């Protein structure tokens, strides 16, 4: 076990229910689906709520034929623009994937502006269709429901303008690099403020060790650190994560080690494994290394012979320089967590400073060796890091 400059963020204020809700809302289709469900519900309820609203608040005062015309026009227009928004999104995804790296697709698919824009247009279409069924000959037109349809159209137009502005700015290389780097900086700040110890821990000698195999294949994505400490303390054991965050662990490979201390009893294997998340694609929930990987991938693509854009590679190095400087000017931490009595209950394996510097700069140095600006920028970064680093980090900088 070695000290690390990539402390894992510990979010003690986030409940298990909140984490599950976050995972449920992550897929691209969830937000548009929620918009559609709300629209269908409103379309069923509002036509019958006409008597509760004064007529002076209604924007529509026409008859049945006028109501049908308005709703039919809205439905046709909204489904057409929904297809346009979807097409624009697909083009942007293809451009970002080919120009930068496939790893940035996750950021675009998770973008709430795109999700809400697609959602409000699809919702307006469904709402108009549902309300249209309530428009009957010989009855009063549902003015409240049609007024809401008009308001939805106004909101959709505003959202479309915001979407166009957002999508045209988000595909710029500077904006994309800044977004990824800011996520990484926030993650680093969360980890550095999570009160990991800065002094070497004292580990009790275990009486036995039980290795837990990974229940599935995937990348180690996130840990429920407080829950792992509670489980280990309750059973009198020490839990060790055998792989760093972001590592791929094959099904059946060693994932956790349960060190049995004096007076320990055996915790449930399923309960312990459930507190370590494995996913098919890395995310930046707690994995700062993935942010570095995304930045490096953009630089590698920029340095490829087909693109030959060293300026973008230098911009990536600027962001990596900022990240590395924040690491070397803060004390290294030991990746262990103790219970209230001071007994170490959780041990992680996080990369050292030398590992992080190699991950951030080695590939770019290799592919950029023929570009003078890239070589000079890397040399400048290393000189600045050596000058700014705390004494404890100088060995890792060579």
pLDDT in tens, 249-274: 999 999 999 998 887 788 888 989 99
How many C-beta atoms surround the C-beta of residue 391 within 10 A? 6
Task: Classify strands 344-347 and 237-241 as parallel, antiparallel or unpaired.
Answer: parallel
pLDDT at 15 over 70: no
Are 243 and 255 in contact, with CB atoms under 8 Å apart?
yes
DSSP, collapsed to helix, strand or coil, labels residue 129 as helix
**pTM listed for this prediction:** 0.83
DSSP letters, 16-34, are HHHHHHHHHT-STTHHHHH
Report whether 256 contacts 273 (CB < 8 A): yes
Taking alpha carbons only, the member of 265, 266, 252, 256 closest to residue 348 is 256
Residues 95-105 as b/e (b if ≥16 CB within 10 A, e otherwise) read ebeebbbebbb
Task: Tell me the average pLDDT across 60-74.
Answer: 84
Cα angle vertex 7, ends 2, 11, to 5°?
140
Contact (CB, 8 A) for 187 and 286: yes
Looking at residue 394, what is its pLDDT? 85
Q: Residue for token digits 């629209």?
A: 39
What sign does the CA torsion over 46, 51, 52, 58 have? positive
DSSP conformational letter for 7: P
Going by the DSSP 8-state scheme, the letter that residue 248 receives in this structure is: E
| Tokens 């996130």 sit on residue | 222
Handedness of CA 337, 339, 344, 346 (dihedral sign): negative
pLDDT at 211: 93
The pLDDT assigned to 16 comes to 55
Identify whether the C-beta of residue 96 lies closer than 8 Å to the C-beta of residue 105: yes
Short-list 342, 338, 385, CA closest to 360: 385
Q: In the prediction, which pLDDT does 14 show?
A: 52
Going by pLDDT thresholds of 50, 70 and 90, the confidence category of residue 216 is very high
C-alpha 61/C-alpha 73 separation (Å) is 17
Q: Evaluate if residue 20 carries a pLDDT over 70.
A: no
Q: Return the residue matching tokens 């294949």.
A: 217
311: three-class secondary structure by DSSP:
helix
Can you point out the beta strands (E) in 203-335? 208-213, 218-223, 237-241, 248-249, 254-260, 276-279
Looking at every residue in the chain, the average pLDDT score rounds to: 88
- The reported pLDDT for the residue numbered 257 is 93
Q: Is the pLDDT of residue 55 over 70?
A: no
On the question of pLDDT at 53 being above 70, the answer is no
State the pLDDT at residue 13. Answer: 47
- How do the domains of the chain map onto residue ranges? 16-171, 181-397
For the beta carbon of residue 172, count every other beta carbon within 10 angstroms.
10
- Other beta carbons within 10 angstroms of residue 177's beta carbon come to 22
According to CATH, what is the number of the domain 181-397? Answer: 3.90.1170.30
Considering Cα of 77, then 83, then 86, then 88, what sign does the dihedral take?
negative
Positive or negative, the CA dihedral 240, 18, 188, 286 is positive
Angle, helices 143-170/30-45, rounded to nearest 10 degrees: 170
pLDDT at position 267 is: 86
Q: Model confidence at 3, in pLDDT bands (50, 70, 90)?
A: confident
Looking up tokens 């854009």 gives 309
Task: Confirm if 207 and 266 have CB atoms less than 8 A apart.
Answer: no
Tokens representing 183 are 């996520």
pLDDT tens digit sequence for 141-179: 777 888 889 999 999 999 999 999 998 888 888 888 999
Q: State whether the Cα torsion 220-224-230-231 is positive or negative.
A: negative
| Contacts with 371 (C-beta within 8 Å, 6 or more apart), sequence order | 303, 310, 313
């Amino acid at each position: 076990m070695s000290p690390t400059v990539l402390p894992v963020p510990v979010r003690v204020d986030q409940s298990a229910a909140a984490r599950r809700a976050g995972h449920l809302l992550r897929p691209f289709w969830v937000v548009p689906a929620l918009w559609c469900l709300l629209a269908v519900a409103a379309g069923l309820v509002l036509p019958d709520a006409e008597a509760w609203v004064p007529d002076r608040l209604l924007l529509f005062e026409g008859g049945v034929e006028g109501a049908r015309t308005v709703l039919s026009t809205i439905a046709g227009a909204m489904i057409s623009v929904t297809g346009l928004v979807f097409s624009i999104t697909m083009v942007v995804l293809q451009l970002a994937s080919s120009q930068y790296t496939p790893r940035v697709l996750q950021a675009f698919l998770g973008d709430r502006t795109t999700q809400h824009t697609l959602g409000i247009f699809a919702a307006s279409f469904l709402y108009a269709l549902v309300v249209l069924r309530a428009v009957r000959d010989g009855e009063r037109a549902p003015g409240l429901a049609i007024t809401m349809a008009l308001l939805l159209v106004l909101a959709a137009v505003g959202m479309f303008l915001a979407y166009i502005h957002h999508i045209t700015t988000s595909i710029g290389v500077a904006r994309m690099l800044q977004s990824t780097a800011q996520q990484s900086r926030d993650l680093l700040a969360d980890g550095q403020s999570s009160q990991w110890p800065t002094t070497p821990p004292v580990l009790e000698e275990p009486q036995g060790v039980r290795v837990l195999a990974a229940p599935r294949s995937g990348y180690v994505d996130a840990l429920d650190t407080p829950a792992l400490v509670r489980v280990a303390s309750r059973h009198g054991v020490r839990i060790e994560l055998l792989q760093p965050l972001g590592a791929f662990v094959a099904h059946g490979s060693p994932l956790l080690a349960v060190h049995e201390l004096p007076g320990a009893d055996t915790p449930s294997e399923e309960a312990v494994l459930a507190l370590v998340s494995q996913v098919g694609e890395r995310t930046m929930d707690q994995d700062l290394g993935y942010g570095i990987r995304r930045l490096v991938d953009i630089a590698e693509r920029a340095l490829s012979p087909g693109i030959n854009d060293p300026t973008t590679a230098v911009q990536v190095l600027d962001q990596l320089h900022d990240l590395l400087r924040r690491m070397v000017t803060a004390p290294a931490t030991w990746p262990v967590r103790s219970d209230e009595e001071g007994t170490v209950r959780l041990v992680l394996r996080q990369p050292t400073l030398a590992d992080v510097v190699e991950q951030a700069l080695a590939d770019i140095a290799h592919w950029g060796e023929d570009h003078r600006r890239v070589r000079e920028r890397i040399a400048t970064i290393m000189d600045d890091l050596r000058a700014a680093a705390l004494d404890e980090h100088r060995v890792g900088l060579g």
